[in-house]
Each structure stands twice: as structure tokens, then as C-alpha cells.
């Protein structure tokens, strides 16, 4: 379990989208603890030959040293960034209901955005800036939050942003799916309402409330 978050951690580090928050430090500590347990098990007396005990010992020490080096690099390259930001109001620069990327997500760099839309990162960043009607996106100071209302049976559904609530170092995006006020007429085409926010960069955890839209009433 301690290593379960490794793929997400590696992806965020590759994107330059990573800071060591309190959760990350706990993850490092838990992982180090797990490796220590493995190391102790390797050193525990067994009926194996001395050769195999020596091999196990070498492997265990190697893994532990490698992990210490990795943790040291993380702590020094990605400094602690976990202040209590309770009540802080993030500045919003632009919002749009026009489609940007599928699904509810947080985008903190142009490479992540390009992977979701497909294409050259610089070109995609410019295109999205035009959709948001801003001159450009400063990825060092800004980020995108996309809220998806899921696939709905017809046009007229929309996503409504309620509030952005910060507690300690976690941002909760409160939102709601608003149904059409007029009854359906004729043949209907499914739609996927979304809402995209360009706002002040926040490097802590971001969660959505609700996590996803309610099941559509087809």
C-alpha cells in the first residue's frame, strides 16, 4: 500500500507538477517504513544457506540506500510547500462553458494540457487562452480546473460553479449540474456540459464536490 502512489508521483514529477506537501512527506515516510520491514525480514535468521542470506542482505541494503537517495533528492529538489491556507481566496482570471478537455481535472502545465487535447503544447496553450478570452496563460502563476457534468441526454444542461473552498492545503471545488428549465422537444442529441476556470495556481490537493455528476436520466 505504501508504494501505491508511486505512478502518480512519477507522472507529476515528469510534468513539473509536484511539490512536497504534508501528504507527500507521509508517503515517503510510509514507504521507507515498508522497505525497513522488508529489510528486517531479509535479515531474519532462516534455514537458507549463508550465500543466499548474503545475497538477500545485499539486495536489501541496496534497495534501502537507493530509496534514501531518492527521498533525499525529492526533499531537496521539491521543497516543503504545505502552509495552512485556510480561507485564502484564489483569484479567478477567466471562466468558460466552452469545451476545453474531457473529464474533471486539474491542469498545471501546458504539457499536461497538450496530452489531453492532442498537439503541440505551445500551440494548444495559445488556443485555450483564446477560448478563455485572455492574452496568454502563465503556467508559473496560473492553472486550469475543468469540471465535467458527464454525458447528459440533451442540450440545456450546464455546470454551475458554487465556490472554491480551501482548508489547510486542500482545495475543494463545489459545483452543481443544472438541468434544463424547458421540456424536451423533438429528437435530442446527448451533450457533455463542462465548466473551465483559469485561476491562481494552487499546488495542494484539489478535490471535486460532488466527485462526479449524478447518473443521467435517459
What's the pLDDT score for residue 14?
53
What's the pLDDT score for residue 18?
52
What's the N-to-C CA distance of the chain in angstroms? 39
If you average pLDDT over residues 53-60, what whole number do you get? 71
pLDDT in tens, 156-183: 899 999 999 999 889 999 999 999 888 7
Structure-model confidence comparison of residues 80 and 35, the more confident one: 35
If you average pLDDT over residues 204-208, what whole number do you get? 91
H/E stretch holding 53 reads helix 50-77
Looking at the predicted structure, is the pLDDT value of residue 20 above 60?
no
Can the peptide bond before residue 210 be classed as cis, meaning omega within 30 degrees of 0? yes
Structure-model confidence comparison of residues 206 and 84, the more confident one: 206
What's the pLDDT score for residue 59?
73
φ, ψ for residue 187 (rounded to 5)?
A: -70, 135
pTM: 0.65
Return all residues near 185 (Cβ < 8 A) that are at least 6 apart: none
Residue with cell 491542469: 107
If you average pLDDT over residues 53-59, what whole number do you get? 72
Structure-model confidence comparison of residues 84 and 200, the more confident one: 200
Distance CA 133, CA 125 (A): 12
Parallel, antiparallel or unpaired: strands 105-107 and 142-148: antiparallel
What's the pLDDT score for residue 4?
45
For the chain, the maximum distance between any two Cα atoms, rounded to a whole number of angstroms, is: 80
CA-based nearest residue to 22, from 81, 73, 79: 81
pLDDT in tens, 57-99: 777 677 767 766 776 666 555 555 556 788 889 999 999 999 9
pLDDT in tens, 115-161: 999 999 999 999 999 999 999 999 999 999 999 999 998 888 999 99
Q: What cell numbers appear for 78 in the block?
A: 521539491
What's the pLDDT score for residue 37?
65
What's the pLDDT score for residue 62?
75
What's the pLDDT score for residue 127?
96
Contact 81, 20 (CB under 8 A): yes
What's the pLDDT score for residue 32?
66
Across the chain, what does the average pLDDT equal? Answer: 80
φ, ψ for residue 211 (rounded to 5)?
A: -65, -35
Distance CA 124, CA 144 (A): 13
What's the pLDDT score for residue 31?
67
Amino acid at each position: 500500500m505504501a508504494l501505491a502512489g508511486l505512478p502518480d508521483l512519477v507522472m507529476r514529477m515528469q510534468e513539473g507538477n509536484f511539490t512536497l506537501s504534508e501528504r507527500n512527506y507521509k508517503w515517503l515516510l510510509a514507504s521507507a517504513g515498508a522497505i525497513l520491514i522488508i529489510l528486517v525480514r531479509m535479515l531474519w535468521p532462516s534455514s537458507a544457506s549463508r550465500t543466499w542470506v548474503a545475497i538477500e542482505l545485499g539486495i536489501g541494503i541496496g534497495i534501502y540506500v537507493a530509496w534514501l537517495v531518492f527521498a533525499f533528492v525529492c526533499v531537496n529538489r521539491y521543497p516543503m510547500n504545505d502552509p495552512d491556507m485556510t480561507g485564502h481566496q484564489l483569484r479567478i482570471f477567466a471562466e468558460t462553458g466552452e469545451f476545453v478537455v474531457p473529464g474533471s481535472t486539474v491542469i498545471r502545465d501546458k504539457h499536461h494540457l497538450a496530452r489531453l487535447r492532442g498537439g503541440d503544447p505551445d500551440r494548444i496553450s495559445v488556443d485555450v487562452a483564446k477560448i478563455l478570452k485572455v492574452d496568454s496563460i502563465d503556467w508559473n502563476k496560473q492553472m486550469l480546473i475543468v469540471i465535467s457534468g458527464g454525458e447528459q441526454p440533451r442540450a440545456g444542461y450546464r455546470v454551475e460553479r458554487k465556490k472554491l473552498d480551501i482548508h489547510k492545503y486542500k482545495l475543494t471545488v463545489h459545483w452543481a449540474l443544472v438541468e434544463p428549465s424547458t421540456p424536451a422537444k423533438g429528437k435530442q442529441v446527448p451533450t457533455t456540459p463542462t465548466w473551465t476556470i483559469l485561476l491562481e495556481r494552487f499546488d495542494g490537493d484539489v478535490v471535486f464536490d460532488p466527485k462526479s455528476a449524478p447518473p443521467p436520466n435517459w
